[in-house]
Amino acid sequence: MTTVMFDKISCEITAFSQTEITCTLAYTKYAGSFKPKVHIYGLGYMLYDSVSDDETDIVISSWTPTEGSTEGLTEVTVTGTGYPYVSLPGFTIKVGDLEIKDFKFISSTTISFFTPR
């Protein structure tokens, strides 16, 4: 079976020819630069030099609430795209200059945390 993977995310093949493979990701990719891992049935894996990188950026669409107490401990929900589905090394969230140490990945489109005191 021919397969295409981005990191650990499977890409459903929708078209296949001698020169091109088109696929759709069932799960939103998270931010970063990835080379797809392409396995062609009967031939093996494609060389990375022959496959172009795919880049995804983090995009913030909205956050709620837009205001909160200066005392902190306001729960904030941030929606957008490109969020990792688990905490990755180097992924940080900051409110002003303060780093948020405890945040939750609700989905690939939603993160929540409490503002610091």
Q: Report the relative pairing of strands 44-45 and 37-40 from DSSP bridges.
A: antiparallel
3-state secondary structure the chain: CCEEEECCEEEEEEEECCCCEEEEECCCCCCEEECCEEEECCCEECCHHHCCCEEECCEEEEEECCCCCCCCCCEEEEEEECCCCCCCCCCCEEECCEEECCEEEEECCEEEEECCC
2-38 pLDDT tens trace: 888 877 778 888 998 888 888 877 666 666 666 778 8
- Distance (Å, rounded) from C-alpha 18 to C-alpha 56? 27
- Identify the CA nearest to 45 among candidates 35, 32, 57, 56: 35
What is the pLDDT, as a whole number, of residue 92? 83
Is the pLDDT higher at 102 or at 89? Answer: 102
Work out the number of other CB atoms within 10 angstroms of the CB of residue 89.
4
Note the pLDDT of residue 44. 87
Q: What is the pLDDT of residues 53-81, one digit of tens each?
A: 666 678 899 999 988 888 888 999 999 88
